[in-house]
Amino acid sequence: MGTKNYICLAIMAAIVLAAVTLTFCSQSLSAETVETTEDTGSISWILVSSILVFTMVPGIAFFYGGMLRKQSMSSMITQCLIAMGVMTISWIAVGYSLAFGGDGAIVGSLDYLFMTGVTENAASGISDMEFALFQMMFAMISAAIVLGACAERIRYTAVVWFLAIWSVVVYAPMAHWVWGGGWFDQYLVVLDFAGGTVVHICAGITGIALALFLGKRSERVRNSRAHNIPLAFLGCALLWIGWLGFNGGSGLAADGLAVRSIVVSMMAAACGMMAWAVVQYMVVGRVGVLGMIAGSIAGLVGITPAAGYVGIPESMVIGAVAGVLCFYAVRMTKSRMRFDDALDVFAVHGVGGIWGAIATGIFAAPEYTGEVAGLIYGSTDLFIGQIIAVIVTLIYCFSVSYAIIWVLSKLMRVCVTPEEELVGQDLIEHGEHAYM
Amino acid sequence: MKLITAVIRPEMLQFVKDALKEIGVNGMTITHVYGRGSQAGLRFTTRAGEIIIDELEKTKVEIVLEDEMVDKAVDAIVKSAQTGKPGDGRLIVTPVERFIRIRPEPSESTE
């Protein structure tokens, strides 16, 4: 126990030292002032979007927590809090540099550790630092999404270490491949407007890797119902609101593209929710809050990679198909699969994300994308590129995430015992009941 | 007439209900309760020491039966609720002084 403490302290000291050193080194760089006419509209909008995306993280805590047992509510909140902490530090320390630090095929560079040389002023549009801030929120929300799959059995310490490693070896390279000029950009035609691949497919399949490794929860925990529907709805509302910044800010400017992205996002969310409701009504015979919120999230996940590249009619198709697909995916994973994806992270984010990526390959309109066109405009390059990107993302994120948790399992206990699970992690790990 | 009070594992409730249904017992009152047995709760070891959880979730099932049904019902509950590990619960059979239906008995015995 003692040595572990010292190791933790040593790591923290190293981080602080590195930060201090780099601050001194970088002073000469950031001292230069840039004289420009600033695009204050875009700067404001991306700041607001960043904050909107940030609200999705507490939103996820409510959304997931409300759908778990009451004995797991504090646990889910604590896990989301640690995701905020770990991902912020990791992104500013190394993540941003690895993702957007250069044109390497696999990762960027280590030039921008601790935002060294990343300027807060921009000649036009938004500055690098604002972009890094916006992207930081994406890293955070991706990590938080994963937590739904392994809920109620992964130990808290394991979550902390897993996210710390995952943010560097899985998330940062993924962001680099898709957005940072990595090999997706170099060798394939891939479009991902707001992170269908990087955020949703990646988080979904990481969730599967964890759920598979950790095994199923005990039957009683698995069969228990959502303990607080109003909280789940509050979480969904925060996610939906935040998503408008998530998609609307991804054009990185306050312009017509942002407006259209938000309109198509609303349309897809509405269609996803309605489609889910219709299918659920036909199959189950009734419709409820949990179904409707899952449907809206499915629609939003579906439109995420396509938001900037499609018009209104396509967005309706994308949203509606996402709702129906995810509904059947949830039913299938609940009944047939061997893994226990506690909150259907893969069925909604994974399946919805895969559909969104493929739909982008089908519907991307040349008038919005520049030169690249989707399948319905007679071009196959993008469609093939999207499918390869999806497959690579699935394989890479699954195998590396599985490897991380496997390694962690050799160093520590990663799973709670069945007895601990029944009592609930709120009490066992955190000593705090969510409710009196 | 006897009252059977069974305190069982919540996850075994469905099996108990199914087993009782098989011998024709449908009426019961189910309550979610907290309690502990002779081990006085569960002990867990954490980094900082030991924690004891002394209120565990259980489910209480109450059934009132004619005397000749009691042994069958007790058998069914014990068999269906058993895991063999500590925490399987308890079964109490108590005599019932009076048993009154709130809705009057139907005139023909069609229950």
| Stretch (H or E) spanning B8 | strand B2-8
CATH of the domain at A161: 1.10.3430.10
Could you report the per-residue pLDDT of A304-332, keeping only the tens digit for each? 999 999 999 999 999 999 999 999 999 99
Domain that holds residue A345: 42-430
Q: How many CB atoms lie within 10 A of CB B39?
A: 11
In a domain, B43, yes or no: yes
d(C-alpha A221, C-alpha A367), whole Å: 51
| Residue A51: partners with Cβ closer than 8 Å, 6 or more residues away | A245
CB contact under 8 A, A428 and B10: no
CB contact under 8 A, B56 and A423: yes
Evaluate if residue B102 carries a pLDDT over 50: yes
Our CA dihedral for A412, A417, A422, A425, rounded to 10 degrees, sits at -10
CB contact under 8 A, A220 and B11: yes
Q: Report yes or no: A60 and A226 within 8 Å, Cβ to Cβ.
A: no
In a domain, B109, yes or no: no
In a domain, A32, yes or no: no
In a domain, B76, yes or no: yes
CB contact under 8 A, A220 and B9: yes
DSSP labels for A345-356?
HIIIIIHHHHHH
Cα torsion angle, A16, A19, A21, A24, sign? negative
Which of B32, B39, B44 is best to mutate for the A interface (most A CBs within 10 A)? B44
Looking at every residue in chain A, the average pLDDT score rounds to 91
d(C-alpha A258, C-alpha A251), whole Å: 6
| Stretch (H or E) spanning B35 | strand B29-35
Facing residue for B42 by CB, picked from A219, A419, A431: A419
In a domain, A195, yes or no: yes
Question: Residue A248's pLDDT is what?
Answer: 95
Written as six digits, the tokens of A247 are 């998609």
In a domain, A13, yes or no: no
In a domain, A1, yes or no: no
CATH of the domain at B18: 3.30.70.120
Assess A428–B contact: CB distance below 8 Å, yes or no.
yes
d(C-alpha A314, C-alpha A134), whole Å: 27
Could you report the per-residue pLDDT of A27-48, keeping only the tens digit for each? 545 545 555 577 899 999 999 9
B56 neighbourhood in chain A, CB within 8 Å: 422-423
Could you report the per-residue pLDDT of B46-84, keeping only the tens digit for each? 777 788 888 888 999 999 999 999 999 999 999 999 988
Facing residue for B42 by CB, picked from A223, A423, A429: A423
Average pLDDT over residues A134-150: 96
Pairing of strands B42-46, B49-53: antiparallel
d(C-alpha A177, C-alpha B20), whole Å: 60
CB-defined contacts A:B, below 8 A? 23
Question: Residue B109's pLDDT is what?
Answer: 53
In a domain, A382, yes or no: yes
Assess A2–B contact: CB distance below 8 Å, yes or no.
no
ipTM over 0.85: no
In a domain, A225, yes or no: yes
Average pLDDT over residues A260-282: 97
CB contact under 8 A, A1 and B11: no
In a domain, B56, yes or no: yes
In a domain, A35, yes or no: no
Q: How far is CA B3 from CA A292, B17, B35, in A?
A: 44, 16, 20
| Stretch (H or E) spanning A231 | helix A229-248
- pLDDT over 70 for what percent of chain B? 95
In a domain, A15, yes or no: no
Domain that holds residue B58: 2-95
Domain total of chain A:
1
Which of B51, B55, B59, B83 is best to mutate for the A interface (most A CBs within 10 A)? B51
Which of B13, B52, B53, B85 is best to mutate for the A interface (most A CBs within 10 A)? B53
Report the chain B residue with the minimal C-alpha distance to residue A222: B11
pLDDT confidence tier of residue A1, bands split at 50, 70 and 90: very low
pLDDT confidence tier of residue B101, bands split at 50, 70 and 90: confident
DSSP labels for A400-418?
HHHHHHHHHHHHS--B--H
Domain total of chain B:
1
**Distance of residue B16 Cα from the nearest chain A Cα, in angstroms:** 14
Average pLDDT over residues A257-265: 96
